[in-house]
Structure 1
Amino acid sequence: MEENMKLKKLIAGMLLVMMVAAVFTGCKKEESTGEDNSLQKVKDAGKLVLGLDDSFPPMGFRNEDNKIVGFDIDVATEVCKRMGVELELQPIDWNAKEMELNSGNIDCIWNGMSIDASRQEKMNLSEPYLRNEMIFVVAADSGIETFADLADKAVAVQNGSTAQTILENSDVYDTLKEATSFDDNVTAFLTLEAGGCQAVFLDSVVAEYYITENDKDFVILEENLQEEEYAIGFRKADQKLRDEVQKILSEMKKDGTLGEISAKWFGSDITIVE
């Protein structure tokens, strides 16, 4: 009798182990063969939710009617049209962009986002679509013409931007009186205009647009700290969505639509999509 009980316990134990192993193996199989449905989810939802900093002209910003407009917005609108979905714009805290993306609140980050090692590691990036330089803007009558002239001067920069990272890791940074970060570049420019700083460090495409559109007596220093490129950020696993957007961008480049949008905002086709 006792031997029968031991045998039953042994068999029960073996069955339990086999069941656990089967469940574990099934889960692992599901994980390893999990299908990427990122594109289908967007199509099923009927919209692409685009995360952006809505104060980053000319890429994405609010006009006088408080409507979000810009180069990236026009391009994304056309991409969504060809994809058969609506574009939904979702302003986000730029410092929390990765969290917004990975939490599922947005489908992509598309707003003049520079490529760097950290973003390449955390996101699935598109191919570059625009080149950019990181430059200093100063008042025309400031007497500042070179990096050396920035010594003991106060510089404004956008918080959480690649501009901030580049500045803080440069030799110029060590010579500054201070570097103050602001939530957006518009506030940084207003600080420069009010005399609260002597320079703003930011993207050249943003600087050129702001100076021209607002007729400000500012100049851009000839030297730049770094050249970089813009890309669209997707979740790491969302390869199909990323590839579909990339395919449509290439089609827009070939048929001239991308060039037309670029000319509207920059005066010529400065895009680098292949």
Structure 2
Amino acid sequence: MKRSLMLSVLVVSSVSLAASVADVKKKGVLVLGTDPTFAPFEFKGADGQIQGFDIDIARAVAKDLGVRLEVRAVGFGALMPQSVTSGRVDMAMSGITITPERAKVVAFSAPYYRSAQVFIVRSGNPGKFAWPADVKGKTIGVQANTTGQFTANDMLKPKGATLKVYDDFAAGLADVRAGRVAALIGDAPTVDDLKKRLPGQFDKAGADLAAEDYGMVFAKGSNLAAAANKTLARLRASGEYQALLNKWIVQK
């Protein structure tokens, strides 16, 4: 009974903090929370500004609402779900996978990108790492509070792998480069981006670990999710969505 009461209080609190379309229009700004370490979806450019595929999608949502977009850098551990449920941000995007567990706490838009969890290794794969054949006794890096970590707990630990958890994805990449971990779990487009930006340093190894869909994240009860879905449908119908894919993700 006590647990039920506490849960009810939490639900009421999260609903009361849910920003609405009217709230956003009144203040004239849509606040996006993102972890800018996930190129090409969100990262800091040479000018220090956060940019990427997710940022352009969010900017389109803000434009359709008639407001400006404000981007706030938030570490992934604090981004999901605390920054949204607390009202610190109006929405979150950072390659966030739609899962039934997360959907109990936050509201998701329709999927806007289909990705996969893959293994990132040093270029040339000197450790000869492969999945699913070569996991036992290996140390695999995962980023905290990501679906990569959750999937690794379910699929790799039972096969004898040791997981090393990083708050910062870049720290995991540094350990891959130095040979301190056999591989790091990341999203497929990240590997393509790394190979483009840092040629000769990283490769993908083995089969994909899992497929997943990304969604825009909002507080429970917010009608911003419906507004985002309208923007997403418009972008797809107009060809702008494909143009953004070509700009940020499709390898040339």
- Give the equivalent residue in structure 2 for 1:254: 237
CA shift, 1:190, in A, is: 1.1
- Give the equivalent residue in structure 2 for 1:108: 91
Report the Cα distance in structure 1 between the residues aligned to 2:138 and 2:226, rounded to whole angstroms.
45
TM-score (norm 2): 0.86
- Give the equivalent residue in structure 1 for 2:25: 43
Q: What is the number of residues matched between the two proteins?
A: 232
User: What is the DSSP-based 3-state SS (H/G/I as helix, E as strand, rest coil) of the residue aligned with 2:121?
Assistant: strand
Report the Cα distance in structure 1 between the residues aligned to 2:177 and 2:30, rounded to whole angstroms.
38
- Give the equivalent residue in structure 2 for 1:61: 43
- Give the equivalent residue in structure 2 for 1:201: 185
- Give the equivalent residue in structure 1 for 2:69: 87
- Give the equivalent residue in structure 1 for 2:174: 190
The structure with the largest alpha-carbon Rg is 1
- Give the equivalent residue in structure 2 for 1:117: 100
Report the Cα distance in structure 2 between the residues aligned to 1:136 and 1:116, rounded to whole angstroms.
21
Report the Cα distance in structure 1 between the residues aligned to 2:195 and 2:145, rounded to whole angstroms.
23
CA shift, 1:37, in A, is: 7.1
Report the Cα distance in structure 2 between the residues aligned to 1:62 and 1:234, rounded to whole angstroms.
23
- Give the equivalent residue in structure 1 for 2:154: 169
Report the Cα distance in structure 2 between the residues aligned to 1:128 and 1:49, rounded to whole angstroms.
20
- Give the equivalent residue in structure 1 for 2:7: none
- Give the equivalent residue in structure 2 for 1:218: 202
**Would you identify which runs of 4 or more consecutive aligned residues in structure 1 move more than 3 Å?**
none
Report the Cα distance in structure 1 between the residues aligned to 2:161 and 2:207, rounded to whole angstroms.
20
Query: Relative contact order (C-alpha < 8 Å, sep 6+): which is higher?
Result: 2
- Give the equivalent residue in structure 2 for 1:136: 119
Where structure 1 has 5 or more consecutive residues not aligned to the other structure, the ranges are: 1-33, 269-274
Report the Cα distance in structure 2 between the residues aligned to 1:56 and 1:37, rounded to whole angstroms.
26
Q: CA RMSD in A?
A: 1.8
TM-score (norm 1): 0.80
CA displacement, residues 80-101 of structure 1 (integer Å, 9 cap, x when unaligned): 1222101011111322221211
Report if the CA contact (8 A) 1:154-1:199 is conserved: yes
Report the Cα distance in structure 2 between the residues aligned to 1:229 and 1:210, rounded to whole angstroms.
21
Report the Cα distance in structure 1 between the residues aligned to 2:53 and 2:34, rounded to whole angstroms.
12
Report if the CA contact (8 A) 2:173-2:184 is conserved: yes
Report the Cα distance in structure 2 between the residues aligned to 1:146 and 1:199, rounded to whole angstroms.
10
